[in-house]
Amino acid sequence: MRAMDVMTRDVITVGPNTSISEIAELFLRRRISGVPVVDGNGKLLGLVSEGDLVRRVETGTDPRYSWWLDLLTESSERAASYAKTRGKKAQDVMTTNVVTATETTALRDIAGLMERHRIKRVPIVRDGKIVGIVSRANLIQGLASHGDLEKVPSRADEAIRDSVLRELNAQTWTSMLTKNIVVTDGIVHLWGFVRSEEERRAIKVAAENAPGAKGVRDHLNIEPAHTAV
């Protein structure tokens, strides 16, 4: 399997001037732990993860250097830490040396990247622009659907997945930001979260109506209700 077979295409992104408070709110509202930073043309500039927001001066969790550690630490490193813990925008805190892959990168290689770099997601780029993202959850979805990450979906499976995604992206009653489609041997596997049983049923209908679909496996979950505190 390749990145294109399991990647989330509707990627939540932010701009370099998006505020830290907006990003934190986005993490909570969308239940995500990282977001790519792109310019006006969709070019990938960096990535902001939960880890980038943990050490902040506002919460008293910013790194404190002792005098002797100051002597051993490069001034550029201390300057970067200062900006990261006090910056108010995505461009101030984002990681710029982002590990990426292409649409045809094998999932085994993406799994290797995640393990080697200790990351949870890999942006998928084409000509420098982000076209999708593969998370650990996507890898598990691919494994659960296919049973073998080495298996390459047929052209027919690719066409079915494209058809279902096009149909759902055209609807106003759902969003693919929290969902994923994986197709194996004509069987459409539905993953992610829905807001209601009605949305779940409608998504299943869309999958069943896709040309060539032989069946549907529903792995969708209802999003837990938000409670005021």
Host domain of residue 31: 3-56+91-144
- Asked whether residue 189 falls in the same domain as residue 140, the answer is no
pLDDT (0 to 100) of residue 106: 93
82 confidence band (pLDDT: 50, 70, 90)? confident
- Asked whether residue 48 falls in the same domain as residue 101, the answer is yes
- Asked whether residue 158 falls in the same domain as residue 129, the answer is no
pLDDT (0 to 100) of residue 166: 95
pLDDT (0 to 100) of residue 77: 67
Structure-token match 């780029």, residue found:
125
pLDDT (0 to 100) of residue 33: 86
- Asked whether residue 176 falls in the same domain as residue 133, the answer is no
- Residue after which a domain boundary falls, among 110, 144, 178: 144
Residue 183, classed as helix, strand or coil, is strand
More confident residue, 142 or 202: 202
Residue 69 lies inside a defined structural domain of this protein:
no
- Asked whether residue 123 falls in the same domain as residue 46, the answer is yes
Q: State how far the Cα of 45 lies from the Cα of 156, in Å rounded to an integer.
A: 35
- Asked whether residue 44 falls in the same domain as residue 121, the answer is yes
Residue 74 lies inside a defined structural domain of this protein:
no
- Asked whether residue 13 falls in the same domain as residue 121, the answer is yes
102-122 pLDDT tens trace: 999 999 999 999 999 999 999
Work out the angle at residue 178's Cα, subtended by the Cα atoms of residues 190 and 21, and round it to the nearest 5 degrees: 170
208 confidence band (pLDDT: 50, 70, 90)? very high
- Asked whether residue 216 falls in the same domain as residue 194, the answer is yes
43 confidence band (pLDDT: 50, 70, 90)? very high
Residue 182 lies inside a defined structural domain of this protein:
yes
Q: CATH no. for residue 108?
A: 3.10.580.10
DSSP states of 47-99: EEEHHHHHS-GGGT-S----HHHHHHS-HHHHHHHHHHHH--BHHHH-BSS--
- Asked whether residue 163 falls in the same domain as residue 213, the answer is yes
220-229 pLDDT tens trace: 999 876 443 3
Total domains in the chain come to 2
pTM score, whole prediction: 0.74
Residue 158 lies inside a defined structural domain of this protein:
yes
